[in-house]
Amino acid sequence: MLFTTFVVTAALAVYESTIYLSQSSGAPTSTSGGTTDAQNQTITTNGTTIVTASATETLLTASRNNSTSSGTATSSSARPTNTQPCNGYAEFCSRKYSNITMIAAHNSPFNIEGNIAANQALDVTTQLNDGVRMLQFQVHKPNDTSPLLLCHSTCDLLNAGPLVDYLTTVREWVDQNPYDVVTILMGNSDVLTPQNFTDPISSSGLQDYVYTPPTVPMTIDQWPTLAEMILTRKRVVIMLDYEADQTAIPWLLDEFANMWETPFSPTNPDFPCTQDRPPHLGRETSLERMYMANHNLNVDIQIAGLNIDIPASTELNETNAVTGYSSAGNMSESCQAMWDGRPPNFLLVDFYNIGSFNGSVFQVAANANGVTYNRDSCCGTERRRSGNAAPAMRISGMAVAGAAFVMAFLLS
């Protein structure tokens, strides 16, 4: 990852009170996409709405408090037991979105081999297949006529193409995986107005899946379960780090109203789990919000007279490991000790497929979640081809030239 010392000047919104937003639509009559034909049934009993979806030999259930119910049962059916995995685990279906540790791919689109600014080795479809459930990246608009582009710091250094193309690929995966909830976190690197992001999201088809929260900010107790998000087909959470306006666009979430982060672009292998962004957030408020642990180690180098940071790729077997100093596992445990037993909601990593064994970061998440991880499920074709070797990173002439033109700040 390339990093300069430019400072973000955008102000963060401060929410002194709760803002109530329009709630997303209710349960559909069938699921969308994939090969599963799941017919839904809604049962209201004792003030609770239960939505079930049966598909062949699997079953998915969700419940939601119904404040408008008279409490009269419209069905006496007993609540069934869930057997359908959500995000890969049946145990997750009844858990709130805010009560699960998910692996996040730092700069997900930037998997261009040999480019100094690359943060991943595998493409986004493979990332999702392997179990990544948050996709994080920077977005830039080089000029007034340009579409939003996926560029790392500057489009002269790394350009992964239009945002709409990437989001379309994600939507195609979401179509084919109807029991998964995905989070997208976009870095608004040029501090654009949020309306710039609506067209690419709508054109990609993801608009049909976006989750709209009932309030801003959302505390950890207010998030729905994965089953409810899946059965209502509102299973893509989209966040913007700067300039989000949920009163105007309720489904484009303000990241820092809903979660906080540990120090980003870290060069300290201690990986402290201190609250960093937004600044000056009190401990009690922090305990009520989700949080993301930035666990992508960088190393300082000099190129063309600039001090920059690049991923410490030779340390990935330790950084992404389950145990040991500077490991992802150690950070997860340290965070739990520091934040009243709560592990990170999102663990942001570089080259997620590399570690003490292939995909070891998923073992860290499984440990935090109290579930069993199948090591053979990771990681794409890269696992067989290159084993546990770190990706080759070379500083090309283009990268050096690009570094000299890094005039934009890097958010993460």
Task: Give the N- to C-terminal CA distance of the chain in Å, as an integer.
Answer: 9
Q: Which of 140, 152, 280, 295 is catalytic?
A: 152
Residues 293, 66: Cα–Cα separation, whole Å: 34
Buried b (16+ CB within 10 A) or exposed e, 95-126: bbbbbbbbbbbbbbbbbbeebbbbbbbbebeb
The yes-or-no answer on residue 140 being catalytic is no
| Longest CA pairwise span in the chain (Å) | 73
Contacts of 42 (CB under 8 A, 6+ apart): 27, 49, 50, 51
Residues 404, 150: Cα–Cα separation, whole Å: 19
Residue among 324, 241, 121 at smallest CA distance from 332: 324
Q: Which of 106, 140, 280, 295 is catalytic?
A: 106
Residue pointed to by tokens 């009520």: 288
How many Å separate Cα 250 from the centre of its chain? 18
In the DSSP assignment, the letter for residue 217 is S
CB 358 within 8 A of CB 379: yes
Neighbours of 6 (CB within 10 A): 13
The yes-or-no answer on residue 295 being catalytic is no
CB 100 within 8 A of CB 369: yes
Catalytic residue numbers read 106, 152
